[in-house]
Amino acid sequence: MKITVFGATGGVGQQVVTQAADAGHAVTAVVRTTGKLLDSRATEVRADVLDPAAIVDTVNGADAVISAIGPRDNGPSTVCVDSARSIMKAMEATGTTRFVMVSALGFHTDGDGPVLKFVLKPIVKRILRHAFADMAMAEQAVQASNLNWTLLRPPRLLDKPRTGNYRTAINRTLPRGLTVARADVADCALRVIDEPKASRAAIALAN
């Protein structure tokens, strides 16, 4: 497959690039700054993700587009929603339809137990309120599109090896879904590309 990755130099993005290359896929990694990509097997393209015209060539002909773009800090930001809209506009211009976006589980509470829902997540929501607001708007934009999309909703991300052993839930949260390895998020992002049940659905995952 031909896979285009945005946010390719972040923790999850680097894992997506490496795992996709390991699987024999042709990977295009779209970056803001060259020289930070760790896997030389990917085709590195420097482009402004917020400019649809600048990225249209990177998504043209792709079998799947994966965005692992996240907030850069805890301050007010619209980078997630703005990048999602730009990527989708470029995809729609080229006829590319498969879009997987990494979001977050922290601002979703349906199905959570009382401790997670009323104690732990309210604390996290206060700390990450700007990031979560941005991600929520990005999710809404993706869900309103005509693309074949999947939202991945991981909890707190850890730098641990890929296990391939993680739990998932479609369109709901996960009991005791507290942490997940970035490498497992990347694993899931690649697995759902061809998964019919993941089409136009939100996937929560946790170790």
Q: What is the pLDDT of residue 143?
A: 98
pLDDT single digits (tens) 96-134: 999 999 999 977 656 655 545 554 556 555 666 667 889
Alpha helices in the chain (DSSP H): 11-22, 52-59, 79-94, 114-115, 121-127, 129-143, 182-191
pLDDT single digits (tens) 58-88: 999 999 999 999 987 777 789 999 999 999 9
pLDDT single digits (tens) 8-51: 999 999 999 999 999 999 999 999 988 899 999 999 999 999 99
Cβ-Cβ contacts under 8 Å for 31 (sequence gap 6 or more): 8, 9, 37, 44, 45, 46, 47
Closest CA to 65 of 102, 98, 94: 98
Enter the pTM of the model.
0.93
pLDDT single digits (tens) 178-193: 999 999 999 999 999 9
CATH numeric code, 2-206: 3.40.50.720
Round to whole Å and give the CA distance between 144 and 7. 22
